[in-house]
Structure 1
Amino acid sequence: MYADDLCVAFMDIYPLGEGHVLLIPRQHVVQLEELDAGTRAHMYTVFDRLLAAQRRAGLGVEGTHFLVNDGKAANQHIPHAHMHLIPRRRGDGLRFLYRLSLHLTGLFGFAKPMSTLREQAARIAAGMRSSDQEAE
């Protein structure tokens, strides 16, 4: 969905909400603080662009969770720094809490069909492209 020299973004296969994106640095580090300041700043810029693209795609218009499980004590299951952008909708609290509880236990729940994830990724990528065209 998105890639540059410093980071990549793709759909979470076990999403906590429709359009859930993972943003990951290419450099292997366990915690975000291990990245140099320039890479961290770049990732936050990409995060802002992804958030705007999700909203252009109709995802997260009502709200978004920004989630970072930074270290084992913070329930980080994969020892590689990453950020979650989780679109939210009013009234999705019970479903969100159920899926979150599965993530916290390490069970993760059921994977979304790849066709659904590809469709959401295409919508978000289109939002990124339209943002790039507006900036030119």
Structure 2
Amino acid sequence: MNKTEKILSSHGIRPTQMRSKIYRYLRRKQSAVSFSDLKKVFAEKSETNKTANRTTFYRNLKIFENKGLIHQINDGTGVAKFAISNENVKGKYGSDLHLHFHCTECKKTICLPNKIPEESLPDDYKINDVNLVLKGICVKCKEK
């Protein structure tokens, strides 16, 4: 069993070939990926793969999200994006609490490394979702 299969299995996910491919692809990405971008990449890679339909991708992303392997980011563009979650950080609110940065030039969204301490969130409220996005120009676009 390879590393990807072990990670999927340890989260209670049956490591099918497609799930392994999707997870490996997301782990390699430096920025968050939209559903349509993910589907497009896999369609280009395997034009003969008829089983990789829209429903398969969506279902696998939802499984990964429900098991805490990835998180969904709403960066204000109207298109949900997905990124790998920090598997070592779990707390009161589920997955790791961190900021995201959306570049208004290149349109990439990345997870920032600094975590938000849970103690800074109010105990009196029931928090269902956290979406923290900073917008601006990334280093690469700024240098152009």
Same fold (TM over 0.5): no
Q: Which has the larger radius of gyration?
A: 2
> Higher helix fraction: Structure 1 or Structure 2?
1
TM-score (ref. length: structure 2):
0.31
Q: TM-score, normalised by structure 1?
A: 0.32
